[in-house]
Amino acid sequence: MPSSSHPLPHRTRIKICGLTREADVQAAVQAGADAIGFVLYAPSPRAVTPVRAAELARLLPPFVTPVLLFVNASLAEVQAGLHAVPNALLQFHGDETPAQCATLAQGHPYVRAARVPLGDAARGFDLLQYARDFSHAQAILLDAQVQGYGGGGHAFDWSAFDWSHPQLSASTRLVLSGGLTPANVSAGIRLVRPWAVDVSSGVESAKGIKHPELIDRFVAAVRQADAL
């Protein structure tokens, strides 16, 4: 057994989001993804119905978590998603308040997305207060604020925040997202040291169509960063 004086390095969890095809789910699982995201937001080019999400979620082996992404959804829409995929983690990616998240989640664990402005405006975003406001969320997912809700392929300025702050450590379950690719995810992990990373467009050949080689390269880059 390893010595207690030499703890094992942190293992960054990996979520691959916006999957629409069986082949993409299988590629993500084989590559070593920890979670698979299904978008239940009709305007998205990556949208699936609850029934389709259930079909794809049935391909997941034990310990790979299905995540249902909602944007300003009604309680009925969230309930329909949970009826189709009862073991799913919820992700609220719209303008939901803390009270609305609690109502929609109905006691189920959820992740809250924070839409961080691009450019210098990121420095005016109070991430600490945001995390306090959504203290009941299992994680705060950091995405870039773009037109629409996510999937825009843009990264916010990672240097805008003091990641050494005790409340912005891996223990707070930060999930780094927004514009991640196999080429930049290692740098993001080394700077932020998030609990997890979330990728969608960065491993696609077209919107909603994942590329197995890009998935493999992304996972390999994450593991390389963990080893440093």
Q: Just list the catalytic residues.
A: 17, 143
Q: How many CB atoms lie within 10 A of CB 132?
A: 11
What is the distance between the alpha carbons of residues 114 and 175, in angstroms, rounded to a whole number?
Answer: 10
Q: Is 198 left (phi over 0), alpha (psi -120 to 50) or beta?
A: beta
| Reduced 3-state DSSP string for 6-32 | CCCCCCCEEEEECCCCHHHHHHHHHHC
Q: Which tokens sit at 123?
A: 């420095």
- Cα–Cα distance between 193 and 38 in angstroms, integer? 25
What's the Rg (C-alpha) of the chain? 17
